[in-house]
Copies of this chain bind each other. A is one copy, B any other.
Amino acid sequence: MTKDELHFIDHVATLLVPWGMPQTTGRVYGFLLLQTEPMSLDHIVEELELSKSTASVSARQLVESRLAKRHAVRSSKRILFSATDKYDELYAAHCVLLGEIGALMKNAADDVATGAASKRLKDMSRFLIQIRKTIEGVMQR
């Protein structure tokens, strides 16, 4: 890999840490973003100098977060990974989650929380549901 590629990969990882993503998972994501074709775990291990188990955990986390896609290779045990190009699906999933968390907080505000905690949940719920509607508006355009 070139110095610029490595720099991009590390930069992506650093920016994703505040979203709760482990640095290594972010590096695997950054690597996948630069690839034009799905990559095997062995390839990821080699390029990023990771252990196979670390790479495997990272790839699984990316698939769970819908940032990467898993490809089974026909008549082979090999599995390939690629960065998702359905970034709007990413945000669609984000919107569904915002709505679910918003609804959960709204219900909990009356049922399980009291005082300041109840008010905080109601305020957060209102805010998250508004954000959700707005993002959905962007996606429909």
Give the B-binding residues of A (Cβ under 8 A). 2, 4-5, 8, 11-12, 15-21, 25, 33-36, 61, 64-66, 83, 85, 87-88, 91, 93, 97, 100-101, 104-105, 108, 111-117, 120-121, 123-124, 127-128, 130-131, 134-135, 137-138
Contact = CB atoms under 8 A, between A and B. Distances in A.
Q: How many copies does the complex hold?
A: 2
A15 B112 contact: no
A130 B134 CA distance: 11
A105 B27 CA distance: 14
30 contacts: A2-B112, A4-B112, A8-B104, A11-B104, A12-B101, A15-B97, A15-B100, A16-B101, A19-B65, A20-B20, A20-B21, A20-B64, A20-B65, A33-B105, A33-B108, A33-B113, A33-B121, A34-B112, A34-B113, A35-B117, A36-B115, A36-B116, A85-B120, A87-B124, A91-B127, A131-B138, A134-B134, A134-B135, A134-B137, A135-B135
A35 B117 CA distance: 6
Given A18-B93, A87-B123, A91-B127, 4 more contacts: A34-B112, A85-B120, A87-B120, A87-B128
Contacts of A121: 33
4 tightest CB-CB pairs across the interface, nearest first? Answer: A36-B116, A87-B124, A36-B115, A4-B112
